[in-house]
Chain A
């Protein structure tokens, strides 16, 4: 009986470890898959313009901006329409292109619906008057 209890405790503690590992570092897709649908490139070299367009798009979509860092190129906000949180980063990849990447969570889950990100980039493209390209 004692052995059984010990085994149960060991199994439970092991499963707790693996669950914590999954919660902290786990994703259901590969990094490449996620970056693919969470990123778009825009043909411009004006980083500030893109950052400001991200803020404006997030506002159009009903986000309240929580924080922004021009130097790091990140903007985070909470959507009061869709009860979700999003961080958007903007980085220059070459002289003529800027990559925008967004990741969001809804409630206690990551948002893994590519169409939702597509909607976001469409709105951003509209605000920038630029076409969003998929990132290779």
Chain B
């Protein structure tokens, strides 16, 4: 028994010493597709106006701005929101009551956004946006994820197009 325990302990130590980071920061096959999803071109030569319109739409969506660096065309923002619907929570509590385990459900989330403008080859500007979030559950555990829902990106850019128009007309 003691031998097995020692062997297990050794295996755990060896495994923890063998974490490899060699695959870190390697471009994967999907990066161009992701870039396309996250980017839209705007026919304007005024980068500053485009960033002002972008900040406006982020405010429309309830984000608070963290950082902005006009010279790099960058805006970062975040917002805190509740996570998971009430229905989901009730469902989880009900299920765990049946199985006699403790219910685990999402409680809150912090949504992060990075928005960057860059000059494109058609004499206009591209806007690239990325959404990610941290989610906390009722056990105070946290997980992080990049938001990849196509609809979210499409809706954002539609709102930005509208904001470019509204801001240009001082609305």
Contacts and interface: CB of A to CB of B under 8 A. Distances in A.
A65 B71 contact: no
Contacts, number: 97
29 contacts: A52-B73, A55-B72, A55-B74, A55-B116, A56-B118, A56-B128, A59-B130, A60-B27, A60-B31, A62-B146, A63-B114, A64-B113, A64-B114, A64-B132, A64-B146, A65-B67, A65-B116, A66-B66, A66-B67, A70-B69, A75-B72, A78-B112, A79-B25, A81-B146, A113-B22, A115-B21, A116-B21, A119-B24, A123-B25
B144 interface: yes
| Number of chain B interface residues as a range | 20 to 34
Contacts of B69: 68-70
Interface residues of A, number: 38
B46 interface: no
Contacts of B72: 48, 51-52, 55, 68, 70, 75
Nearest to A60: B31
Contacts of A60: 27, 31, 34-35
B60 interface: no
Contacts of B66: 66-67
B145 interface: yes
A66 B31 contact: no
A136 B81 CA distance: 48
Interface of A: 48, 51-52, 55-56, 59-70, 75, 77-84, 104, 106, 111, 113, 115-117, 119-120, 122-123, 126
A113 B26 CA distance: 13
Nearest to A77: B114
Given A51-B72, A62-B146, A67 B67 contact: yes
A112 to B, nearest CB: 8
Interface string B107-138: 00000111010100000000010101000000
